[in-house]
Chain A
């Protein structure tokens, strides 16, 4: 499959669109790739001044965000079919404040922030769709927050381990504890 088909299919899945719309193909044109990444490499790093929106065709990883107080915490997982980026810099500019590391071989595509913004400015219909895409991501964030606060932690850990087998090899117990919003000792007990 070519770049257009791969990224367009990703958008169809993300938006629930019944068909592959021409604007999906146009959006895929702003991406460069495929880029092949070996396991253990980073897609982006804290402090970099080059921001990209990434589409992941293949590969798994994690991103970690550097907070204003200097704490670095696990932010999210990278999975096939996802669009990912350093959100803060895309939103307000400035250097990147997160890292993204891939732990398996990966195939990705990338678009410069400037190309993304120009595309959004030019494409009224895609902007309307962006609101639905954001609402979709927002549901995922809500769910993460709700799980963190209210889900039985043993069940949450089991579901996370199933989603990303080997997570404990790539992330420290402290990082996983913060991701779950529990103390390190509670996490240690859950992981036994």
Chain B
């Protein structure tokens, strides 16, 4: 679980690196996202702002021995949650991309400063000219 900082996730799609989402404080990160044999999109996590994390290896033999029921539940739930999280990213963009992007720009002033305009346009999946419109409409710049 991310306690502080920002982690971005990039994947390779049609030979281009694409930014799809950010983990911010309170978010959970799961290894299935970068599964060593099934990571077809070559997903990687990039630290944008120094991070502090809590992590747990629920498959560690000592953890399994001491807290067997917790270990089992975490194993089942993490598998389900890692997939379910992505549905959330899809829904956010599907409902109303322009509204989502404009709200995101208003909510993330610090992060905007860490990304180039090209990266930001890539994250929103829009052209740089459309990004300019979003910035003007949401931030008045």
Contacts and interface: CB of A to CB of B under 8 A. Distances in A.
Contact of A135 (B18, B32, B124): B32
B94 A73 contact: yes
B86 A138 contact: yes
A117 B80 CA distance: 12
From DSSP, what is the main secondary structure of chain B's interface residues? helix
From DSSP, what is the main secondary structure of chain A's interface residues? helix
A136 B35 CA distance: 9
Interface stretch (A24-32, A102-110, A142-150, A160-168): A142-150
Given A67-B95, A139-B38, A145-B90, A127 B16 contact: no
* Most chain B CB neighbours (cut-off 10 Å) among A75, A121, A145, A146: A145
Interface string A55-86: 00000000001010001010100000000000
Contact of A178 (B39, B79, B94, B122): B94
Interface of B: 11, 13-14, 16, 18, 20, 32-33, 35, 37-41, 43, 72, 75-84, 86-87, 89-91, 93-95, 97, 122, 124-125
Q: Can you list the 5 inter-chain pairs with the closest CB atoms, starting with the nearest?
A: A149-B125, A141-B86, A135-B35, A134-B79, A146-B13
